Amino acid sequence: MIPLKLQLRNFMCYRDNVPPLDFRGIHVACLAGDNGHGKSALLDAMTWALWGKSRASSDDSLIHLGAREMEVEFEFALGENRYRVIRKRRRGMGRRSGQTVLELQVWDGERFKSISEPTVRATERRIRDLLHLDYETFINSAFLVQGRADEFTTKRPGERKQVLADILGLDVYDTYEERAKERARECAETVGALEAQIRQLDEEIARRPEYEAEEREAARLVAELSGQLREAERQLEELRARHRDLLNQRQELDRLEARL
């Protein structure tokens, strides 16, 4: 991620007439000034815009004293793309809690177009996925929060391990592991199905002698029935011949009777 531009309105010590901070052309920079002049606020603005987190105890405490709302617009480059995050916060009044609006946009060559999700939380998740970086990893690697330079060393071993895993992008191996497990489950199911088919085929092969015996018996019956059929056909032909003879004799008898 390469910062390009930062625009603040009523954020901490910055009012609504602050010119944008353009990072383009800046490779190394040093922020100098007295305490309370807003050096750290610039960095807080970036983390608040991206992750909704900062050194402050609450979002409302980031709003400039006397103002009802604040806004941070942060533009950055990532790979070949250019993005803009706009986060706004309206102070809560009485029992009503404050409201946050978050917009994620990408430059399409002519203008910024929204790629935000339906909710703030979902959009924050998309930003994390886009950056492959969350707030805790950021403040323990590329950015040291004022007064918390020992943030990493004071963490528990498990937490340090997780931070390093996030920095090195080791979570991708967790994804690969899940995919490998899923593939292994699919293969195991396929193997199980094939083994069941093999067992069924083995059972059928074991019954081969039985099938062969049935085939021989069927062949014997076919031969026997074929012989019976031939005999029946022979007898039928004899009966037909006798029937023809009887018809001839009957006709001859009828002629003799007619002559008498």
Contacts of 259 (CB under 8 A, 6+ apart): none
Whether the per-residue pLDDT at 172 is higher than 80: the answer is no
Q: What are phi and psi of 119, to 5 degrees?
A: -125, 160
Most confident of 77-86, 129-138, 242-251: 77-86
Percentage of the chain exceeding pLDDT 90: 63
For residues 159 and 81, give the distance between their C-alpha atoms in angstroms, rounded to a whole number. 32
Whether the per-residue pLDDT at 144 is higher than 80: the answer is no
Give me the pLDDT at residue 68, please.
Answer: 93
Give me the pLDDT at residue 40, please.
Answer: 86
Give me the pLDDT at residue 134, please.
Answer: 86
Task: Please report which confidence band the pLDDT of residue 17 belongs to, taking 50, 70 and 90 as the band edges.
Answer: confident
Average pLDDT value for residue range 99-107: 96
Average pLDDT, the chain: 88
Is residue 131 a contact partner of residue 1, using CB atoms and an 8 Å limit? yes
Give me the pLDDT at residue 139, please.
Answer: 77
Give me the pLDDT at residue 148, please.
Answer: 47
Whether the per-residue pLDDT at 150 is higher than 70: the answer is no
The residue type at 13: C
Give me the pLDDT at residue 154, please.
Answer: 66
How many residues are present in the chain? 260
35 vs 15, residue with greater confidence? 15
Task: Please report which confidence band the pLDDT of residue 23 belongs to, taking 50, 70 and 90 as the band edges.
Answer: very high
Is residue 143 a contact partner of residue 50, using CB atoms and an 8 Å limit? no
Which CATH superfamily hosts domain 2-131?
P-loop containing nucleotide triphosphate hydrolases (3.40.50.300)
Whether the per-residue pLDDT at 240 is higher than 80: the answer is yes
